[in-house]
Chain A
Amino acid sequence: MSSMTSAHAPTPASDVGRGAPSGMVGRTTGDRIILGLTIALAIVMMAPLLWVVALSLKDNKELMVSMNAVFHAPYTVQNYINILATSSVFRWILNSLVVAGGLTVGTLVLSSLAGYGFARLNFPFRNVLFVIVLMGLAVPEQAVLIARHQLFSWLKLHNTYPGLILPGLSAPFGVFLMTQYFRAIPKELDEAALLDNASRFKIFWKVLLPLTLPAQATLGIFTFLGAWNDYLWPLISGTKKEMYTLTVGIASTQTNFAQSEGLGFLMSQAVFAGAPILILYLFFQKYIVTAVSGAAVR
């Protein structure tokens, strides 16, 4: 974020309140009111998360007596220890990583190649094909779910990593994004290379691909997040315990009706499943934000 802002800020930052292109010069009462309101809204945003974290740190039995127990000690990490004792949980994390990672890499490869092809090269039926791919954007995953499930049954791909990864590769969003991006790169670049008799692939690989890094980052992050959070397809395709992704696995440990004392435990599961991705987000925040911004405006 900061790098972007400095590129466009009217003047180098001279004081903290400066540099806002939205026309705020200095701090006025109006700015303060807006800031106050935004902070209030942020607190409202955070409240549910904090509530859940607080619940997860409480003894289940204490919560049964009164919810007000949330607001005072003692707190405990016992619920988290119980999750870790579920032997499969690390396997599920690994599965989620393999699926989300595989899908991300695969999407980047396929989308970059296709994006380059559609944007920079000419071949018969190119425009027709591109329109068909664009129409694919309107196909909701659920509309092809049933047929896809039958197809994968026939190919014996359920309960395998390819089975969990492949459906995501057919989403046209990446191609759409990369095509846009490749089109925006000045044509002179590869024309010069073409005159040197460089092959099409070499131009793609050496000249253009490096220029698309911001778009790669955006697409990669969206793909990874989407795959990590997917629920429907893993639920019906990865049906063996060893092939559960974290989302499905965590859901499966929730007990049948008999459970009456597990509120804290349930909440710790929510935190546990959400935490890795939140930490990842905080860690890569700068890149994510830059990437989202970078690709969006084009």
Chain B
Amino acid sequence: MIHTLRTSFLAATAACALAGGLLASPAFAATELTFQRFFGACDADFGSNTDVSKAVGECGIITSMVNKFNADNPDIHVAVTTVEWPGYDQLTAQFAAGDPPDIVTIHHSALSDYQTKGLLLPLDDLLAANGIKPADFTDASRNGVTKDGKIYGLPIDNWTMLFHINMDLFKQAGLVDASGKPILPKSVDELLAQAKQFKEKTGKPYLIQNLANETALYTRNLYTYLFQQNSDFFADPTKVKINTPEAKKVVEMYKAIFDQGDTTKDLDYAASINAFLAGEGGVHLNGTWMIGDYNASAEKPGTALNKGGYAVYPYPQLFSGKHAQYADGHSLAVSQKDRSEEQTAAIGKFLKFMADHDFDWSRTGHLPAMKAVLDSAAFKALPHRDTVAPIAELGTSLPGAVQRQFAIQDIIGQEMSAAITGQKEVDASLADMESRINELLANL
């Protein structure tokens, strides 16, 4: 034992030397690029797959795309680091440490946080050199990645929230018209009435929402119905005006649904997906990315969605203002860093490759970022794209100059949840919401 102890003292020196030795990374002949992304890891299924058309799901498709790129370009090696969604804490820490990845997935809504600090490379020249013009992007995508007149990320998609519908339950509830389409509400009153009818006929809640410790869903719901009332709550990107009659109407609508028991209440995100797949409610409020999974489930005999079918629509227009709903998107941004010409060229090649394969990415359910793909027959032939296509026009995001949108989302979600579940008065929550956001924005 004494001997062991002494050895361990000596081992300390050895460990330090070892650690030092491991620091030196082996040199690669190929140009090395680091690509940091969320969307998870799925090496077991797609780790060596280079046939992108065979891949399914966000993770499978992006993994296969990178594999294909590496296989096609032996002189470049893209090394992938996956981070826990959304990975911004880590990215911030990396930028602060002066050691960011070359290419990184960033939401359109989060780009300005990094762009305003001068951390991202403007991509206009690099994209132009690789034959990608700003006009190639859909309007929503181009607007999402353009800050101060420059492009700060290659947009790969737009996404939004949707009404995912269990048609079997809708039929039971008498909410299907003669042509077999679901009947969706056209006003707040209709929504509440249909929800009530749904519950009476099926015994199940109309909406499936993940309300447990959730902030994103609340926020997206609020933004959507504020847009529909023409409420310009971020007229000044540094000062929100959200303690308004319009916002009150939206919160009270969701509160009424909650109070009448027309929504699931205590589900978290995963549980809400399970609940919809098990036929526990009529409409699941979830994003574009679920279309593929739900469609697959609907095709499988014996499932709740197979019984009467699955349909998916944009959020219904409930107010008399402009037709709109909240949308965001993913982009590939490039960090500001000292690079050789080969490295910069390699990044350009990678971005070009990703843009060229935008159709493959759109199979996830997201709307493509490239106009040509959106208009293509192949895209239109994908399941349910006919009913969700209007979101290309409807999709609206916050003004690009609004910073800390993820932090704002937390505040809105917290206060809205407090109001809807009755923890707090509606007026008090809206007042707190406004003052907390403005406190945040005043201290950037």
Give the residue name and chain of the B residue nearest to A101 (CB): B15
B99 at the interface (CB under 8 A from A): yes
* Assembled-state Cα–Cα distance A214/B377 (Å): 74
Contact A85 B43 (CB under 8 A): yes
Contact B81 A240 (CB under 8 A): yes
Contact A253 B82 (CB under 8 A): yes
Contact B47 A256 (CB under 8 A): no
* Assembled-state Cα–Cα distance A213/B2 (Å): 8
Contact A149 B97 (CB under 8 A): yes
Contact B41 A252 (CB under 8 A): yes
* Assembled-state Cα–Cα distance A27/B35 (Å): 66
Contact B97 A153 (CB under 8 A): yes
Contact B98 A153 (CB under 8 A): yes
Contact B270 A263 (CB under 8 A): yes
Contact A241 B81 (CB under 8 A): yes
Give the residue name and chain of the B residue nearest to A165 (CB): B19
Q: Given A153-B97, A256-B85, does the pair A85, B364 have CB atoms closer than 8 Å?
A: no
Residues of B within 8 A of A229 (CB): none
B29 at the interface (CB under 8 A from A): no
Q: Given A241-B80, A256-B39, A260-B270, does the pair A161, B98 have CB atoms closer than 8 Å?
A: no
A152 at the interface (CB under 8 A from B): yes
Contact B290 A253 (CB under 8 A): no
Contact B58 A256 (CB under 8 A): yes
Chain B, 145-159, CB within 8 A of any chain A CB: none
Contact A257 B85 (CB under 8 A): yes
Contact A260 B277 (CB under 8 A): yes
* Assembled-state Cα–Cα distance A189/B143 (Å): 78
Contact A159 B19 (CB under 8 A): no
A177 at the interface (CB under 8 A from B): no
- Of the listed stretches B6-14, B176-184, B218-226, B423-431, chain A binds B6-14
* Assembled-state Cα–Cα distance A109/B80 (Å): 38
Contact with A along B243-276 (1 / 0, CB 8 A): 0000000000000000000000000011001100
Chain A, 105-151, CB within 8 A of any chain B CB: 105-106, 108-109, 149-150
| Count of residues in B whose CB is under 8 Å from the partner chain | 56
Chain B, 1-59, CB within 8 A of any chain A CB: 1-2, 5-6, 8-9, 11-12, 15-16, 18-20, 22-23, 34, 38-45, 47, 57-59
Query: Whole-angstrom distance from the CB of A146 to the nearest CB of chain B?
Result: 9
Contact B96 A153 (CB under 8 A): yes
Contact B43 A86 (CB under 8 A): yes
Chain A, 245-282, CB within 8 A of any chain B CB: 251-261, 263
* Assembled-state Cα–Cα distance A257/B161 (Å): 13
Give the residue name and chain of the B residue nearest to A113 (CB): B9
Query: Whole-angstrom distance from the CB of A246 to the nearest CB of chain B?
Result: 14
Residues of A within 8 A of B292 (CB): 258
Contact A255 B90 (CB under 8 A): no
Give the residue name and chain of the B residue nearest to A157 (CB): B97
Query: Whole-angstrom distance from the CB of B4 to the nearest CB of chain A?
Result: 9
B83 at the interface (CB under 8 A from A): yes
Contact B98 A210 (CB under 8 A): no
Contact with B along A34-73 (1 / 0, CB 8 A): 0000000000000000000000000000001100000000
Query: Whole-angstrom distance from the CB of A87 to the nearest CB of chain B?
Result: 6
* Assembled-state Cα–Cα distance A248/B8 (Å): 28
Residues of A within 8 A of B19 (CB): 98, 102, 160-162, 165
Q: Given A85-B47, A149-B97, A235-B90, does the pair A259, B40 have CB atoms closer than 8 Å?
A: yes
Interface-central residue, B59, B97, B99, B302, by most chain A CB under 10 Å = B97
Give the residue name and chain of the A residue nearest to B276 (CB): A260
Q: Given A241-B79, A255-B39, does the pair A260, B293 have CB atoms closer than 8 Å?
A: yes
**From A87, A237, A254, contact of B40 by CB (8 A):** A254
A209 at the interface (CB under 8 A from B): yes
Contact B23 A160 (CB under 8 A): yes
Residues of B within 8 A of A253 (CB): 40-41, 82
Q: Given A105-B15, A160-B23, A260-B290, does the pair A87, B43 have CB atoms closer than 8 Å?
A: yes
Chain B, 330-371, CB within 8 A of any chain A CB: 364
Contact A258 B82 (CB under 8 A): no
* Assembled-state Cα–Cα distance A170/B243 (Å): 48
B128 at the interface (CB under 8 A from A): no
Contact B82 A252 (CB under 8 A): yes
Contact A209 B5 (CB under 8 A): yes
Contact B89 A236 (CB under 8 A): yes
Since A82-B45, A153-B98 are in contact, a sample of 7 more A-B pairs with Cβ atoms closer than 8 Å, ordered by chain A residue number, is A86-B43, A98-B15, A153-B96, A153-B97, A159-B97, A254-B40, A258-B40
Where the two chains meet, the residues of B that have a C-beta atom closer than 8 Å to any C-beta of A are 1-2, 5-6, 8-9, 11-12, 15-16, 18-20, 22-23, 34, 38-45, 47, 57-59, 79-85, 89-90, 93-94, 96-99, 269-270, 273-274, 277, 287, 289-290, 292-293, 302-303, 364
26 A–B contacts, CB within 8 A, in A order: A64-B277, A81-B44, A86-B47, A102-B16, A105-B12, A109-B12, A149-B93, A149-B96, A153-B97, A153-B98, A158-B99, A162-B20, A236-B90, A239-B93, A252-B83, A255-B39, A255-B40, A255-B58, A255-B85, A256-B38, A258-B40, A258-B57, A259-B59, A260-B270, A260-B273, A263-B270
* A-B pairs with lowest CB-CB distance, top 3: A255-B40, A82-B44, A161-B19
